[in-house]
Amino acid sequence: MKKERLIILAAAMVGFCACSTDSATLSGEFAACADKNVYLEYVAADGSISADSVRTNANGRFDIKVALPNGEATLYNLRCEERNIPLIIAAGERVTVNSVPGLIDGYTVSGSAESALVKEIKNIMGFGSAKLDSLVTVYNETSSKALQERINKDYAKEYYAIKRKQIEFIVTHSGSLAAIYALNQRLPNDSVLFNGDNDIVYYRQVADEVAKNYPNSPYLKTLQQAIEQYDQQMEVVRMFNSAIEAGPAPFPELNLPDMFGKKQSLVANLGKVILVDFWTMGDQEANFRNAELKEIYEQYKDRGFEIYQISVDSSKPAWIELVQKQKLPWISVCDFMGAQSPAVQLYNVQNVPQNFLVDQEGNIVARNAYGANLRKELSKLIK
């Protein structure tokens, strides 16, 4: 009987330990946030969010018992009013967060190594964005061309400094879930991590290292799936490029809305030489490229040349304002779906700018032809 009781007690202890490894505790204080709701948002690997909430006391303090899905380290957003604190909480941790309002670096976190790393990359991107915003403000407030030119150089220098810090963080902490978080952080108007197609090396490094520390993490599985999808897309691009190199390839049809909402068909321009040009307002060289394109367009437009320019941006007012300000004379279209645009996927556009030159028979005969190269191609096609 005594032996049986010992076995039952041991089983109960095992059950208790297993249960406790699926949870953590989170406590702390939101200064100037007395008697307010604190929300703990669970961010799933697919991006979906569910939330729980507690009420702060008169001093802004709170305590939350965190139930971790499947016992795995999990990304959360801790919110009270306008303050939003990202955390990665692991089983058994006792995490403490203290926050003050109005500051980029306005909180401390202890008891969670991953959350401390998240704070580090958050500061890199947050302080960096603030510096860039201040430069933009000064640029917009001055009419001095010399000052604007200097600010442009300062902006570029600061931008690349931030990006280098981000990459350095990812490489240094590649075995952490915080590195996955860092892979997804972007500066304003950024669509890629750093260098487009070449960024895949960082994604692979993080996936390989995280697999050693968090082999069952759903965030790892999502990252691995993204890499696999990238590899598949690159194979399609390789085949697409090979087809172009082997000879002319038929162009895929597009039918996208212009600034007035009217659908513009690409095939309607068949019989002309067409430049299908993908671009974004976030490209610092976009104004220069459009100015150069205007000169080429003016030279060839009456000889059977058309430009079908596709913006991969998502802000309709900003896009319309820029098209009107630059007085772009060709067909300008945008569906405001960004990287998710069917046009982007149909043409396998991995980064912008990117263009495709279509001959009078509707075959793609060149890719990424700019400046002198574009003039050379047009001189061969338009006699």
Give the pLDDT confidence score for residue 236 in this predicted structure. Answer: 67
Average pLDDT over residues 42-68: 92
Report CA-CA distances (Å) from 293 to 89, 267, 285, 367, 373: 51, 21, 12, 15, 12
Average pLDDT over residues 88-106: 92
The candidate with the shortest Cα–Cα distance to 211, out of 179, 166, 167, 233, is: 179
Q: How confident is the model at residue 242 (pLDDT cuts 50, 70, 90)?
A: low
CA distance 327 to 259: 12
Average pLDDT over residues 234-256: 71
Report CA-CA distances (Å) from 196 to 200, 216, 230, 309, 329: 8, 28, 12, 20, 29
Give the pLDDT confidence score for residue 248 in this predicted structure. Answer: 63
Lowest mean pLDDT among 241-245, 281-285, 292-296: 241-245
pTM summary value: 0.66
Lowest mean pLDDT among 4-13, 55-64, 211-220, 265-274: 4-13
CA distance 233 to 223: 15
Q: How confident is the model at residue 46 (pLDDT cuts 50, 70, 90)?
A: confident
Most confident of 202-216, 343-357, 364-378: 202-216
Does residue 316 register a pLDDT over 80? yes
Report CA-CA distances (Å) from 45 to 74, 205, 325: 9, 19, 41
Mean pLDDT, all residues of the chain = 88
Does residue 14 register a pLDDT over 60? no
Element (H, E) at 273: strand 273-279
Does residue 15 register a pLDDT over 70? no
Q: How confident is the model at residue 152 (pLDDT cuts 50, 70, 90)?
A: confident
Give the pLDDT confidence score for residue 285 in this predicted structure. Answer: 86
**67 and 73 in contact (C-beta within 8 Å)?**
no
**Residue 217 DSSP label:** -
Give the pLDDT confidence score for residue 249 in this predicted structure. Answer: 64
% pLDDT > 70, the chain: 90
